[in-house]
């Protein structure tokens, strides 16, 4: 069995293929890539689903490439957008590029460790060294002038095809229209594929389902440039489903609900929590897509969950595995413990909780060690601990105004150490830790020590 065929079976079994070139068992994938423009300082969970096929290919010994679009970010991809992107300053673009590159560079080692813990099977893989490369498209555009690009690439492009792309037609029908730079974005992405095909033997491009038009623009361009090579080295396109929230909204920075993979932006506890509230059907699907668990383990987890769905065993398994893969196993264990202490089944002192299996609450000093690096931990300065509760919440940055804090307090949506607080002007007398709960699942630790 070829390495790619074994990998393809993994991808289809895990519902990671939304669309692809017509598949045949003879597919000869020599290298694959997926691109990301540095429009933000971190990758997010929405990017992770397009990375998963690369991860599977990488573990099967097929060379993979992550392309950072430090050239294309200057134009803006119109795919999936109703308006044009705001132009980023060069220093912001450079900082974003450096941060994303660091994230991708750290990924292979974490993936290998996680795959071993999952006892991931790479049927058909041989002893080929695992290679994950990073390329920047500014490297080949910075010395290319406009006339050269138009002559080499523009001459091969067909305007009718460009206008027929979904990302273009939707914008043409909108009130904002589409700029010329956005229209030509697909040509730059197509040339990226051509460059990697010519120089690195990359013949498969992977992206989210909203990238299908841009990716096939690349396969079309390569076939026009190298028609005689298509027999021995054909090119392929593959897209993954888009991750959506429970209400069908796309996970992503543009949607305003991004869950970052950088732990300094979304810590391990917050990343873990982002999966806990997912409905069973979505969590079950994402467990297949975003983990490397075996089919036997996946079946066992789902069976255990549906014996007692209130345990949210699927959601907790998904959360632990994603954090394990992107932040590391120790971070996943810590996030799991933090979740248990804040959302366990039995109430405990200071507003914490415990589980039936671990019914003893750690000491105050131990609790501080467990939570002090988390985004949900707030140290209360001695100068602010004798002020009205609503003002304290504003001073800590939990609310943007005292008025907003007061409204939430009066509504009964806030509790402290298991006691509902309804008076915005109350002066707190806590001297240890206290868990502040806002609404259903948001829990914060206030440290008064």
Q: Which of the residue ranges 173-177, 270-274, 355-359, 435-439 would you say has the lowest mean pLDDT?
A: 173-177
8: its two tokens: 């393809």
Residues 84 and 231 in one domain: yes
Residues 149 and 67 in one domain: yes
DSSP one-letter string for 121-149:
--TT--SPPP-EEEEETHHHHTT--HHHH
Contact 203, 197 (CB under 8 A): yes
What is the rounded distance in angstroms from the CA atom of residue 66 to the CA atom of residue 97?
12
Residues 82 and 214 in one domain: yes
How many domains does one find in the chain?
3
328: its two tokens: 């590391």
Residue 317 pLDDT grade (very low, low, confident, very high; cuts 50, 70, 90): very high
Global confidence as pTM? 0.90
For the chain, what is the mean pLDDT? Answer: 90
What is the rounded distance in angstroms from the CA atom of residue 108 to the CA atom of residue 134?
12
Q: Which of the residue ranges 11-15, 79-83, 162-166 would you say has the lowest mean pLDDT?
A: 79-83
Which CATH number is 396's domain given? 3.10.290.10
Helices (H), ranges, 31-145: 45-59, 90-117, 138-141
317: its two tokens: 């398994």
Give the pairing type, strands 346-347 and 19-20.
unpaired
Q: Is residue 349 part of a domain?
A: no
Helix-strand-coil split of the chain, %, nearest 5 = 50, 15, 40
What is the rounded distance in angstroms from the CA atom of residue 315 to the CA atom of residue 276?
5
Give the pairing type, strands 346-347 and 353-354.
antiparallel
Q: What is the DSSP letter of 371?
A: H
Q: Is residue 383 part of a domain?
A: yes
Residues 273 and 150 in one domain: no
The CA–CA distances, whole Å, from 124 to 6, 10, 424 equal 6, 12, 64
Which residues form the domain of 213? 3-240
Residues of the chain with pLDDT > 90, as a percent, come to: 69
pLDDT greater than 80 at residue 20: yes
Residues 182 and 141 in one domain: yes
pLDDT tens digits, one per residue of 71-122: 999 887 666 555 556 778 999 999 999 999 999 999 999 999 999 999 998 7
Residue 157 pLDDT grade (very low, low, confident, very high; cuts 50, 70, 90): confident
């Amino acid at each position: 069995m070829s390495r790619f065929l074994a990998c393809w079976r993994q991808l289809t079994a895990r519902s990671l293929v939304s669309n692809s070139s017509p598949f045949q068992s003879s597919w000869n994938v020599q290298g694959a890539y997926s691109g990301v423009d540095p429009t933000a300082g971190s990758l997010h969970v929405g990017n992770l689903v397009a990375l998963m096929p690369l991860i599977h290919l990488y573990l099967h010994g097929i060379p993979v490439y992550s392309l950072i679009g430090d050239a294309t970010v200057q134009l803006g991809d119109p795919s999936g957008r109703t308006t044009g992107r705001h132009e980023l300053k060069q220093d912001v673009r450079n900082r974003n590029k450096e941060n994303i590159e660091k994230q991708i560079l750290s990924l292979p080692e974490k993936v290998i460790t996680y795959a071993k813990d999952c006892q991931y099977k790479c049927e058909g893989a041989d002893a080929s060294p695992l290679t994950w490369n990073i390329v920047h498209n500014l490297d080949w555009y910075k010395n290319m002038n406009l006339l050269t690009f138009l002559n080499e690439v523009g001459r091969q492009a067909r305007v009718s095809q460009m206008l027929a792309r979904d990302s273009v037609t939707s914008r043409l029908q909108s009130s904002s229209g589409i700029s010329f730079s956005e229209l030509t974005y697909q040509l730059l992405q197509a040339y990226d594929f051509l460059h990697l095909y010519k120089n690195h033997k990359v013949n498969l491009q992977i992206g989210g389902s909203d990238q299908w038009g841009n990716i096939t623009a690349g396969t079309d361009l390569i076939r026009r440039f190298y028609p005689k090579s298509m027999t021995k080295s054909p090119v392929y396109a593959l897209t993954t489903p888009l991750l959506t929230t429970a209400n069908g909204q796309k996970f992503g920075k543009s949607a305003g609900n991004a869950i970052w993979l950088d732990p300094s932006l979304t810590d391990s506890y917050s990343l873990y929590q982002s999966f806990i509230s997912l409905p069973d059907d979505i969590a079950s699907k994402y467990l297949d897509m975003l983990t490397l668990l075996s089919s036997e383990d996946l079946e066992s987890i789902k069976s255990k969950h549906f014996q007692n769905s209130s345990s949210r065993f699927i959601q907790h398994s998904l959360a632990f595995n994603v954090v394990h893969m992107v932040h590391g196993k120790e971070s996943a264990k810590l996030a799991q413990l933090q979740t248990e202490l804040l959302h366990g089944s039995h109430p405990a002192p200071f507003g914490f909780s415990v589980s039936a299996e671990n019914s003893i609450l750690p000491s105050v000093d131990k609790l501080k060690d467990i939570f002090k690096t988390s985004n949900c931990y707030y140290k209360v300065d001695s100068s602010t601990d004798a002020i009205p509760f609503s003002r304290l919440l504003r001073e800590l940055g939990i609310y943007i105004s005292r008025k907003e804090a007061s409204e939430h307090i009066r509504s009964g949506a806030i509790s402290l150490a298991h006691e509902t607080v309804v008076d915005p002007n109350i002066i707190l007398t806590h001297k240890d830790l206290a868990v502040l709960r806002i609404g259903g699942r948001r829990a914060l630790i206030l440290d008064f020590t």
